[in-house]
Amino acid sequence: MRATTGAMTRRTFAIGMGAAGLAALVPGAGAAASARATASASGTGIWARRAHGSYAALQRFLYLPDSGLYQENYPTRDGENPYSYVWPLREAAAATQNVNQLAPARSRYDGDVSSRFDALERYFNDERGTYDSYLPAPLGSGGDPFYDDNGVIGLEFVRRYRLAGERRMLDRAVRAFDFVEQAWDTDTTVDCPGGMHWVDADWNPYRGGTNVTGIASELAAHLYELTGRRRYLAWAERTHDWVYDCMRREPGLYRNGVLLDGTVEEMLWTYNSGFMIGAATLLHRATGRRAWLRTAEEDVDGALAYWNADRLYSQPAVFNAIYLANLLLFSSEQPDRSREIVEQFTGYAERLWAENRDAETGLFGFQASGGGAPDPALRPQTLHQSGVTQIFALLAWPRPDWGKAT
């Protein structure tokens, strides 16, 4: 991956979160009191309005209409890449799909959705058969392809296929998985063999990343449900079981990964909880086996108990968007659990609106981690603005669509 000048790159963002960035995730004094003091919104109408408004701010300040791409930060400074990395674009595509499910948005945003998926294809490297982390020539000089990037892009293709029935999106999801499956570690001499590498590069630090392996399980489960091909079921079970057996600290909580030297990273992130909840839910839906639903429910119980108000607020907003989407997917199978999930996230979303939003621009600020109280020295980013927009929209999504939330 090519570094930028004065901006956080795809690589340094993750490394910062895994080390020094943890300091930014400790909630400040009075945070819980502030959240309790904020009145909870009633109904979904207010979240639809806030989703539309946050999306409008994303488009006004971070979107580049001449190219159909996004900036990484607002504003872009001299010497920085003119366009975002592929991960923020994927999250902008998810945000666009989310607001497009809100009436009467479909007619308004159909063109925007198509534009997001056209933009993603500009990151595709035909020679490698993968989405590069940065734009290949002529718009950029390319970048190392990340397996987790390709996995979440594949999940977004699946969502588009489920929501709109576009066959080419399913084909692209299959193509993305064909690359992701190459990440599996084949060294059988190590403790808990298996798991998936993070990036296709000689500097890859992970033998098994919880995020990419969980993403692979969820994507494979989708593909099994949609195609009936047994190889996807085998991959979905293999990858889920590796994370469950090797990275699970307790129900709903998964360690971040294992490095090449065998060191296990203990950090906990909401999106790792989410991917595992989603994978087990989809495996239940695809196979009809109740054991998978019980596994998902155990993880939901553990995750909801641990990720309380302050812990949720300290997590990156984009991770929380993924976590919420998977909780709603689970709720589509277990509707009786939806109330506590929506209530917990409504309180969190209210706090974001009250404490992190710049009323003048409609943009949201965070710590360098992407969570916590705003740091006025940091610029708004496409990644985080997209995450917040996803959350607001999901809180207003029609319940019949929850099974397509991720």
Checking if the pLDDT of 283 tops 60, the result is: yes
Residue 104: pLDDT band (50, 70, 90) is confident
Contact 296, 277 (CB under 8 A): yes
Residue that has been written with the tokens 């079921």 in this structure: 233
Checking if the pLDDT of 28 tops 60, the result is: no
Residue 71: pLDDT band (50, 70, 90) is very high
Checking if the pLDDT of 5 tops 80, the result is: no
* Biggest distance spanned by C-alpha atoms of the chain: 57
Q: Which residue has the higher pLDDT, 56 or 31?
A: 56
> Residue 281's closest CA among 245, 330, 248?
330
What is the H or E stretch that residue 328 is in? helix 317-333
Checking if the pLDDT of 397 tops 50, the result is: yes
pTM for this predicted structure: 0.92
If you write DSSP's letter for every residue of 266-315 in order, what string do you get?
EEE-HHHHHHHHHHHHHHHHHH--HHHHHHHHHHHHHHHHHS-HHHHHHS
Contact 341, 349 (CB under 8 A): no
Q: What is the mean pLDDT of the chain?
A: 91
CA distances in angstroms from 64 to 53, 58, 137, listed in the order given: 18, 10, 18
Q: What is the pLDDT of residue 40?
A: 38
What share of the chain has pLDDT > 90, as a percent? 88
Checking if the pLDDT of 27 tops 90, the result is: no
What share of the chain has pLDDT > 70, as a percent? 89
Checking if the pLDDT of 239 tops 60, the result is: yes
Averaged pLDDT for residues 171-181: 98
Burial (Cβ within 10 Å: 0-12, 13-18, ≥19) of residue 211: buried
Alpha-carbon 286 to chain mean position = 22
Planar angle of CA 261, 262, 266, nearest 5 degrees: 120
Q: What is the pLDDT of residue 38?
A: 36
Q: What is the pLDDT of residue 376?
A: 97
Checking if the pLDDT of 109 tops 80, the result is: yes
Residue 3: pLDDT band (50, 70, 90) is very low
Lowest mean pLDDT among 37-41, 47-51, 146-150: 37-41
Checking if the pLDDT of 33 tops 70, the result is: no
What is the H or E stretch that residue 390 is in? helix 382-396
Alpha-carbon 393 to chain mean position = 15
Checking if the pLDDT of 233 tops 90, the result is: yes
Q: What is the pLDDT of residue 105?
A: 72
Lowest mean pLDDT among 29-38, 64-73, 270-279: 29-38
Q: What is the pLDDT of residue 43?
A: 54
Averaged pLDDT for residues 163-172: 97
What the chain holds in terms of domains, given with CATH numbers, is 46-139+307-406 (no CATH), 146-160+180-300 (1.50.10.20)
pLDDT tens for residues 82-93? 999 999 999 999
Q: How many residues does the chain have?
A: 406
What is the H or E stretch that residue 63 is in? strand 63-64
